[in-house]
Amino acid sequence: MEEVLLSLRHISKNFGEGDVLADVSLDVHKGEFVTLLGASGCGKTTTLRIVSGLETPDTGEVILSGQDMTDWPPERRPVNTVFQSYALFPHMNVEKNVAYGLKVRGVDKKTQAARVKEMLELVQMSEYAKRMPAQLSGGQRQRIAIARALAPQPQLLLLDEPLGALDLQLRRQMQIELKRLQKKLGITFIYITHDQEEAINMSDRIAVMRGGKFEQLGTPEEIYDHPATRYVAQFIGRSALLEGTVRSVSGGLAVIENENGRFTVGGAQARLTAGERCEVCVRTERMRAGRAPVEGFDLPATVRETRYAGGSVLTYAVLSDGTEVVAEGEERMSDAPQAGETVYMHWNPAQASVIGGASHGA
């Protein structure tokens, strides 16, 4: 069993206008990369501030390395934070910024110098040691902020949307570098973001938050392929959500029917039974649009438009009840269905997920 480094036990927090956190519990294992993912106001930053000691919960406990640190001040906790704003000292050069945490902790100068050198090499910023923060790009400042946070060798590193101020290309590059650093050092990361792609690319586990609670906690694959709630299905990726009644279950497949027609899902994994109502999530990249029905499917739709998406074609179509669905295909634009044409939606039944079904991995 993996060693639990951090336990949040029944954490609640109210700032006078309703619960920001409502009975939140979470175990984070040593060496794990856990992301708190959610829209603004969901409680993810408050959770991070409680872990760091910048906020005290109204109820609950913060256990780190087996010790109850709920009431400990930030400076006593073996935790560091990297902020989106970088928070570098503008009057200090790079090496002094990186050395700051070590100096505050009373580390001798020789050890400071060796550690700063090691950290700058780690983030590939050795040649910038004498530069001032104002002379660095956004990505370079972010590397220095990370080096400074890692220098005191914290047990836990908290990252509060650290890449949010970077442009898309640099943000993706830094995602790779951060994950590489985390695995190399073996330090436990708790990461905050509202960017679902970032969370999926970097995390060992993701906690999707909404209204001060966890909607779902699982691996990126579990969150994406088997959403536990409609909110998770809609918040993560692009999907079609289809409700219906199970008509039959046979050979591991369930046939579902609604006012739009008939479709099939992997019934064995979802443990569906005939007569049951259910809701199915099909990811856009797994949805297909054909000019004729496919066995197990009779789901006609009217094409609104097709768009070229760089290597694939997206077909936007409308089911008979007005529900819009989007299918992705590899055909050329010249072969794609045209506006007004009738197409038949289908997918690999094993790649559809029953929302909240037994396969969601909770």
Q: Say how many C-beta atoms besides its own lie within 10 A of residue 1's C-beta.
A: 4
Residue 359 pLDDT > 70, yes or no? no
Alpha helix stretches (DSSP H) within 13-132: 44-52, 94-104, 109-122
For residues 146 and 162, the answer to whether their CB atoms sit within 8 Å is yes
User: What whole-number distance in Å separates Cα of residue 204 and Cα of residue 28?
Assistant: 10
- Cβ-contact 297, 287 below 8 angstroms: no
Structure confidence by residue, pLDDT tens digits, 18-45: 889 999 999 999 999 999 999 999 999 9
268, burial (CB in 10 Å: exposed 0-12, middle 13-18, buried 19+)? middle
**What is the structure's pLDDT at 327?**
95
pLDDT at 17: 82
Residues in the chain: 362
Closest CA to 321 of 352, 340, 296, 299: 299
Q: Residue 234 CB: number of other CB atoms within 10 A? A: 14
Q: What percent of the chain has pLDDT over 90?
A: 73
The pLDDT of residue 361 is above 70: no
- The conformation of residue 176, written as its DSSP 8-state character, comes to H
Q: By the 8 A CB rule, do 244 and 277 touch?
A: yes
pLDDT over 60 at 362, yes or no = no
Residue pair 298/261 in contact by the 8 Å Cβ criterion: yes
Structure confidence at residue 281 (pLDDT): 95
Separation CA 29–CA 6 (nearest Å)? 7
Mean pLDDT of 117-127: 90
Considering only CA atoms, which of 215, 360, 205 is closest in space to residue 280? 360
pTM of structure: 0.88
- The yes-or-no verdict on residue 1 having pLDDT over 70 is no
Closest-CA residue to 77 (of 85, 66, 69): 69
Per-residue model confidence (pLDDT) at position 323? 94
Residues 154-164 pLDDT 10s:
999 999 988 88
- Higher local confidence (pLDDT), 122 or 36: 36
DSSP H/E element including 79? strand 79-83
Question: If you search the block for the tokens 């369930």, which residue do you land on?
Answer: 254
**Arithmetic mean of pLDDT, 110-118:** 93
Does the pLDDT of residue 357 top 70, yes or no?
no
Alpha helices in the chain, H assignment, sequence order = 44-52, 94-104, 109-122, 138-150, 168-185, 196-202, 220-225, 230-235, 267-270
Q: Would you say 199 and 178 are in contact if contact means Cβ atoms under 8 Å apart?
A: no
pLDDT of 122 reads 86
Query: Is the pLDDT higher at 334 or at 41?
Result: 41
pLDDT tens-digit series, residues 253-272: 999 999 999 999 986 555 78
Q: What's the chain's average pLDDT?
A: 91
Residues 180-195: tens digit of each pLDDT: 889 988 999 999 999 9
Max distance between CA atoms of the chain, in angstroms, equals 75
Task: Provide the b/e sequence for 123-152 (b: ≥16 CB within 10 Å).
Answer: bebeebeeebbeebeebbbbbbbbbbbbbb
Enter the tokens of residue 191. Answer: 């990461």
